[in-house]
Amino acid sequence: MAGQADIEKGTAVACPVVVHPAGDAFAPRAEQLAARLGVVVCAEPAPDALLLRVDEKGISLVGSGMELRGDLTRMLPRIRQGALQRELLVRAARTKGATAPWAIDATAGLGEDSLLLAAAGFRVTLYERDPVIAALLADALERAANEPQLKGVVSRMTLVEGDSVAALWGLSDALDAGAAAAQPDVVLLDPMFPERHKSASVKKKMQLLQRLESPCGDEDELVRAALAAHPRKVVIKRPAKGPYLAGVKPSYSIAGKAVRYDCLVPPPRLA
Ligand SMILES: C[S@@+](CC[C@H](N)C(=O)[O-])C[C@H]1O[C@@H](n2cnc3c(N)ncnc32)[C@H](O)[C@@H]1O
């Protein structure tokens, strides 16, 4: 078992993030995580470092005086019977006739939108390409799987760490080769958008995430890949007054005060 002696001490590391165990007991998990991410463990990090902190609650991202932890239990009030059906995303993703609908969340982030879809009955495949955000999400899913109220919902969610654009084109190729099971019902896109939240605390958390990930620069690629996978619908989350993603005009939109869901309904795929 790795101990404190194995942990690099007091080194300012030129990495986007360092892993910081909150005590000796967390050193083994910290080392595992650091090895997976290809970063170092640091017991006494520089004050301005961006940390992936490992403690008794799991993993959190710490920096600029803030802490961000994936926490799907926060979503419990929104997935209660009655509340869930009023969620704009659930209304936007609704597909008639599919008995076991399948959604791909191509920009999973911390998995909150995916959880809404899974609670609404979708099997959800979550793609997250940033390894640090994927680690936070994996940790949040692991904790949620131990919550009796979330267990069933989370069992329908599968995280894939990687680029959804490549995966969606892979599905498109599989469909062209005749694999009908490769056709998702819904593809959800929610790429990072600058200044989309008004609340100061959310803005700060976005700043923390933006130390890892800059606003989306491959909008066109995302929309093209999503449509190539021939879903029944592409659902795009935007700020209420934001421009269309990649300038593509939706078939229709469902708008609330802060967010808008633009729905692209492609023509049915010819067999
Ligand atoms: C605004 S966040 C999504 C928030 C998410 N809807 C939620 O409920 O937590 C956007 C995320 O998409 C990820 N992302 C952007 N492009 C991606 C791609 N091509 N493949 C996988 N993940 C991507 C980013 O790393 C970022 O974590």
C-alpha 127 to ligand 1 mean position (Å):
8
pLDDT at 200: 58
Of residues 179 and 105, the one with the higher pLDDT is 105
Report, as an integer, the average pLDDT of 91-111: 94
Residue 179: its pLDDT value, please? Answer: 84
For residue 115, which of 143, 153, 165 has the smallest C-alpha distance? 153
Q: Are residues 101 and 144 in the same domain?
A: yes
What is the total count of domains within the chain?
2
Measured between alpha carbons, how far is 212 from 214 in angstroms, rounded to an integer?
A: 7
- Do 43 and 118 lie in one domain? The reply is no
Q: Is residue 129 part of a domain?
A: yes
| CA 177 to ligand 1 center in whole angstroms | 29
Q: Over the chain, what is the mean pLDDT?
A: 88
- The reply to whether 92 and 215 lie within a common domain is yes
CB 263 within 8 A of CB 234: yes
Are residues 109 and 210 part of one domain? yes
* Domain identity same for 227 and 120: yes
- 37 shares its domain with 117: no
60 in contact with ligand 1, CB cutoff 6 A = no
* Residue that is written with structure tokens 């911390």 in the block: 110
Burial of 31 (0-12, 13-18, 19+ CB in 10 A): buried
The pair phi, psi for residue 99, each rounded to 5°, is: -80, -40
Record the pTM: 0.90
Which of the two residues, 136 and 98, has the higher pLDDT score?
136
Residue nearest to atom 16 of ligand 1 (CA): 107
133 Cα nearest atom in ligand 1: 27
pLDDT at 271: 62
pLDDT at 101 over 80: yes
Question: Looking at residues 230-252, what average pLDDT do you find?
Answer: 96
Residue 270 included in any domain? no
Helix (H, G, I), strand (E, B) or coil at 157: strand
Instruction: Note whether 36 and 86 are same-domain residues.
Output: no
Quick check: is 200 in a domain?
A: yes
Looking at residue 182, its pLDDT comes to 83
Q: Is residue 271 part of a domain?
A: no
Strands 233-239 and 259-264, by their bridges, are antiparallel
The DSSP output letter for 262 is: E
Q: What is the CATH number of the domain that holds 82?
A: 3.40.50.150
Residue 102 lies in a domain: yes
* Residue-level pLDDT at 113: 98
pLDDT, residue 180, reads 73
Average pLDDT over residues 71-95: 97
Look-up: residue for tokens 């084109």? 169
Assigned domain for 66 exists: no
| 78 and 148 housed in the same domain | yes
Q: Where are the alpha helices (DSSP H) in the chain?
A: 27-37, 76-79, 83-86, 88-93, 112-119, 131-145, 151-154, 164-176, 200-210, 219-228
- Is 239 contained in some domain? yes
Ligand 1: centre distance to CA 106 (Å): 7
Residue 67 belongs to some domain of the structure: no
Sequence-separated contacts (24+) of 211-216 with Cβ below 8 Å: 211/16, 211/50, 211/63, 211/64, 212/16, 212/17, 212/50, 212/61, 212/130, 212/132, 212/133, 213/130, 213/133, 215/191, 216/107, 216/191, 216/192
Q: Is the pLDDT of residue 242 over 50?
A: yes
Whether residues 82 and 41 fall in one domain: no
Residue 112 CA: nearest ligand 1 atom is 8
In sequence order, what are the residues at sequence separation of 6 or more whose Cβ sits closer than 8 angstroms to the Cβ of residue 213? 130, 133, 192
| Closest ligand 1 atom to 212 CA | 25
Whether 74 shows a pLDDT value over 90: the answer reads: yes
Task: Note whether 167 and 224 are same-domain residues.
Answer: yes
Residue 31: which pLDDT band, with cuts at 50, 70 and 90?
very high
Residues 31 and 78 in one domain: no
Residue nearest to atom 12 of ligand 1 (CA): 107
CA–CA separation, 189 and 14 (whole Å): 32
**Of 213, 203, 212, the residue nearest 17 (C-alpha):** 212
Give the pLDDT confidence of 186-223 residue by residue, as tens digits: 999 999 876 545 555 566 667 777 777 666 678 999 99
Indicate if 140 and 249 belong to the same structural domain.
yes
Rounded CA-CA distance 167/36 in Å is 21
Report residue 2: phi and psi, to 5°: -70, 145
Structural domain harbouring 146: 72-264
Nearest residue (CA) to ligand 1, atom 2: 109
Closest CA to 235 of 258, 211, 219, 251: 251
Which DSSP helix (H) or strand (E) runs through 49?
none
Could you tell me the pLDDT band of residue 47, with boundaries at 50, 70 and 90? Answer: confident
Q: 189 in ligand 1 pocket by Cβ < 6 Å?
A: no
Per-residue pLDDT at 88 exceeds 50: yes
- What DSSP designation does 47 have? T
64 Cβ contact partners less than 8 Å away, ≥ 6 residues apart: 204, 207, 208, 211
